[in-house]
Structure 1
Amino acid sequence: MHPEKIRLTGARETLLITLQAKAAESVMPDSLLRDRFAADALHRLDPDSRHLEIGHDMTIGIALRAYMLDRWTEAFLQRFPEATVLHLGCGLDSRIFRVDPGPGVRWFELDVPDVISLRERIYPTRAGCTTIACSIVERGWIERLPADRPTLIIAEGVLPYLEDDQVPQVLRRIAGHFPSGEIAFDAYSSIAIRLLRFNPAIRATGARLQWAVDDPAGLERQVPGLQLIEDRSDWDVGQVARMSPAAQMALQLFSTIPYRMGHLLRYDF
């Protein structure tokens, strides 16, 4: 099999950031994520495509974010073993293989056509999983999804790249289509969005972070039906210990102020 060459730019290319980080963290002796699928997928890409420089601390942070979203996914599927899962902006993430849902789960992976095409060449076909080649912000795709089961919507490293008005619009369409469920995603404060624009890996892609969340409860007013049920803005002590001394000092400083830089959010609807 010839290595896959990829020619993605902007927000689409950021899928390499998460893929490289998960692959790198998963070969560490103290790995939290243990995502062998990410390493296999990365090896299928042409070496010239893997050019983003991702530091150790960012690698740990991305793995922790994925780990928490995996646990939320597993908890939802324990309550609803015949649920629907919609993975927005799936990129080359291997969550469906890490979580390994039961046969009763109906899983959808959604991303733009060139990313879905690459994904289908990288990963094997999975029973119960359907890919949707479409932009998150396009209209019409959601009507193609069945709305007869509790539904979990996951978005990792995706929504902050959308415009400010696009995210509430997408969430309103989701909450209006599915009968009930949860929406889980990561978000950053306005200050964090500005700081992340200087991140070397993100800058190398040309992607621009735009959507910020300073008040997670405020999203309930923008999207009728949403109810905030969990806001994780703290860091696991064991994972912080794996980071550099500089990162540990920065996180300790941020923990002393009420203003939170980043969030993992879970809403009911």
Structure 2
Amino acid sequence: MAAEKVCLDGEKATLLATLYGRALDARSPEPILNDTMAARAVERIDHDFTKIGMSPRNAGAVAFRARFLDRWAAEFLAAHPGATVLHLGCGLDTRVHRMDPPPEVAWFDVDFPEVVELRDRLFPGRPGYTTIGSSVTETSWLDRVPADRPVLVLAEGLVYYLDEAGGRELFRRIVDRFPHGEFVFDALSPFGLRLQVLNSPVRKAGARMHWAVGGPGDLESIHPRLRCRDAISALDLPGYDRLARGLRLATRLMRAVPAMRRAAVFYRLEF
């Protein structure tokens, strides 16, 4: 099978670092996420992954983030069989395959056309699954999604790359379109956004971040129907005890600093 050539830049290129992080985790002696499909995809892509700033040391954080959002997604789907899932900025995430929802779930993966074309070549289709090639903030793509079911909106590693006005309008359009549902995503505070100058994969990709979330109130102000169900610091995700000793110590020290503890937060909003 011929290797896939990849020509991505800016925020689109960061999907390669995320994919590689999950692949490194899958190859480790004690994987956290064990995303073997990600590892196989890396082997099919013609790219020097050693130059994108992702290492085994920080791959664990990528795996923790994905596993935690998978857990929240699974809770929603268990409570709402036959729901619609909007996986926004899906990149090369294998979440639909990891979670393996029944065909009654209408799952839509949405990302830029060139990203969707690449993922369609790398990953197999499955019943109930549709890919849509579009910028997520060009919301005409929503017309392709039935609006008569509860909706789960997944946005891992996306929100901070959106223009705030466009992101808020995207959230409003989704809330107005569906009867009820949840948003599940990670976000950065203004301080967390400034810290991204230290993020090697983001720096090497030349990506720019825009939308900082100050807290639940910022998000609830988007639409009267939105309520924050959970807001959990990235430093409080379960499983950090499995990290190397030095990383565990660094995590404990960062938890003691309020600004650091709020720098990256996982939100679950309901409406």
Would the TM-score normalized by the shorter structure come out above 0.5? yes
**Equivalent pair of 1:197/1:209 in contact (CA under 8 Å):** no
- 1:174-225: CA deviations, max 9, x gaps? 1111111100001111111111123221111110111111212321012221
Mapped to 2, the partners of 1:98 and 1:237 lie a distance apart of: 19
Mapped to 2, the partners of 1:206 and 1:128 lie a distance apart of: 35
Letter in 2 for 1:163: D
Structure-2 residue corresponding to 1:127: 127
Mapped to 2, the partners of 1:98 and 1:197 lie a distance apart of: 31
Unaligned runs of 5+ in 1: none
Higher mean C-alpha deviation, range 236-245 or range 121-130: 236-245
Higher mean C-alpha deviation, range 213-222 or range 77-86: 213-222
Mapped to 1, the partners of 2:238 and 2:201 lie a distance apart of: 25
Mapped to 2, the partners of 1:124 and 1:237 lie a distance apart of: 31
Structure-2 residue corresponding to 1:162: 162
- 1:61-119: CA deviations, max 9, x gaps? 11101001111111111111111111001110000010000121110010010000001
Structure-1 residue corresponding to 2:269: 267
CA RMSD of aligned residues (A): 1.6
Structure-1 residue corresponding to 2:236: 235
Mapped to 1, the partners of 2:48 and 2:224 lie a distance apart of: 45
Structure-1 residue corresponding to 2:35: 35
Q: What is the TM-score of this pair, normalised by structure 2?
A: 0.94
Mapped to 1, the partners of 2:147 and 2:13 lie a distance apart of: 31
CA shift at 1:237, angstroms?
A: 6.0
Structure-2 residue corresponding to 1:192: 192
Structure-2 residue corresponding to 1:176: 176
Mapped to 1, the partners of 2:109 and 2:151 lie a distance apart of: 13
Structure-2 residue corresponding to 1:64: 64
Mapped to 2, the partners of 1:18 and 1:268 lie a distance apart of: 27
| % identical aligned pairs | 41
- Partner of 2:160: helix, strand, or coil? helix
Mapped to 1, the partners of 2:149 and 2:124 lie a distance apart of: 26
Mapped to 1, the partners of 2:28 and 2:48 lie a distance apart of: 23
Higher mean C-alpha deviation, range 161-170 or range 145-154: 161-170
Counterparts of 1:93-104 in structure 2, within 5 Å, are 93-104=93-104
Question: Aligned pair in 2 of structure 1 residues 35, 175: CA closer, same or farther (>3 Å)?
Answer: same
CA shift at 1:258, angstroms?
A: 3.1
Between Structure 1 and Structure 2, the one with more helix by share is 2
Letter in 1 for 2:266: L
Q: What is the TM-score of this pair, normalised by structure 1?
A: 0.95
Unaligned runs of 5+ in 2: none
Mapped to 2, the partners of 1:243 and 1:209 lie a distance apart of: 29
Structure-2 residue corresponding to 1:138: 138
The alignment covers a number of residue pairs equal to: 268
- Partner of 1:85: helix, strand, or coil? strand
- Partner of 1:165: helix, strand, or coil? helix
Question: Aligned pair in 2 of structure 1 residues 106, 237: CA closer, same or farther (>3 Å)?
Answer: closer
CA shift at 1:253, angstroms?
A: 2.2
Mapped to 1, the partners of 2:50 and 2:117 lie a distance apart of: 18
**Equivalent pair of 1:227/1:267 in contact (CA under 8 Å):** yes
Question: Aligned pair in 2 of structure 1 residues 184, 66: CA closer, same or farther (>3 Å)?
Answer: same
The answer to whether 1:45 aligns with 2:45 is: yes
**Equivalent pair of 1:161/1:211 in contact (CA under 8 Å):** yes
- Partner of 2:5: helix, strand, or coil? coil
CA shift at 1:244, angstroms?
A: 5.3
Mapped to 2, the partners of 1:248 and 1:76 lie a distance apart of: 30
**Equivalent pair of 2:240/2:248 in contact (CA under 8 Å):** no
- Partner of 2:218: helix, strand, or coil? helix
